[in-house]
Amino acid sequence: MKILVTGGAGFIGSNFIRLILEKYPDYEVVNLDKLTYAGNLDNLKDIESDERYSFVKADIGDAGAVDKAMSGIDAVINFAAESHVDRSIGGPADFIMTDVFGTYVLLEAARRHEVGRYIQISTDEVYGSIAEGSFTEADRLEPSSPYSASKAGGDMQVMAYHTTYGLPTIITRSSNNFGPYQYPEKIFPLFITNALEGKKLPLYGSGKNVRDWIYVTDNCEGIDTVLHRGEIGGIYNIGGGNERDNLTITGLILEALGKREDMIERVPDRLGHDFRYSIDCSRARALGWTPAHTFEEGVRATVDWYVNNRWWWEKIKSGEFARYYREQYGK
């Protein structure tokens, strides 16, 4: 199989590419990535010389580049997205262009080239917040942020292309991922690296907002399962079943690093901050997938990776991220 992975230089995409090349000796992967601030070829440094892997620098909104890259492709996995809620609040336009228009460009190319499977990587945030119980794939979408609204818009395009044109699409919606190679704007890498640098950990509001967490390679295994066994036209929630509030996450990180709780700094809450995400993953589990890591194992592996890979994150935090951090937190 020859797979086009878009956004493969990002966090989840790079972990997925590594998984596929390790798991399937006869598969080829083409990685198409624009290399925005969160796209980083260092994420794939260990496999860049693999003859089964190739890289194309391009925007998924560039129809010509996408059409060329799509030639001879058996399956498309679309990870490419603007994905940080805070950035979407400050500037929604990039999110709409990538997550909605870019998805449309990919769908058009997949239709022209009669691709065998198109997998859209989405998020549980499209469902909105839920006080009790868990969302199923049949529940209505009620996105709260410009980010989640843009992802919902992309999902709707995917569903429409399946219904209207018969394009063989599948959507996965995962819970919050954590693990190696995650850009340090998200809570796990930000708090771990800040603690290692002796900096404060900026915790929103009360810290009581709840997320379901999944270790990134478990999500990648779920996506792989859906790629090979999922029902065309289907939607699959992929979650870890590890609901924790942000204050608890912060405490676990500090404990793992032997740091004190006085490193926590309360900051004003995010606008429109959803209180709780929770998804029912029984459809994905029915395909034979289940997470391989406990939450505690994932946290330990994540902390250890950032401790042992300062070369990776130190140059990120001294670049574009430093400007963003000053604007976001005033320091």
| Catalytic positions | 124-125, 147
Backbone φ and ψ of 45, nearest 5°: -55, -35
In 3D, which of 323, 321, 189, 205 has the Cα closest to residue 265? 205
Collapse the DSSP code of 58 into the 3-class scheme (helix H, G, I; strand E, B; otherwise coil) and give the result. Answer: coil
Backbone φ and ψ of 196, nearest 5°: -65, -30
**Cα(173)–Cα(175) distance, integer angstroms:** 7
Alpha carbon of residue 230 to chain centroid: 19
The count of residues in the chain is: 331
| Cross-strand partners of 75 | 3, 117
| Cross-strand partners of 279 | 135
Give me the amino acid identity at 257: L
**Cα(202)–Cα(250) distance, integer angstroms:** 10
Give the DSSP letter string of 208-255. --EEEEEEHHHHHHHHHHHHHHPPTT-EEEE--S-EEEHHHHHHHHHH
- 28 and 2 Cβ atoms separated by less than 8 Å: yes
Task: Calculate the alpha carbon distances from 126 to 16, 21, 104 in Å.
Answer: 22, 30, 18
**Cα(174)–Cα(179) distance, integer angstroms:** 14
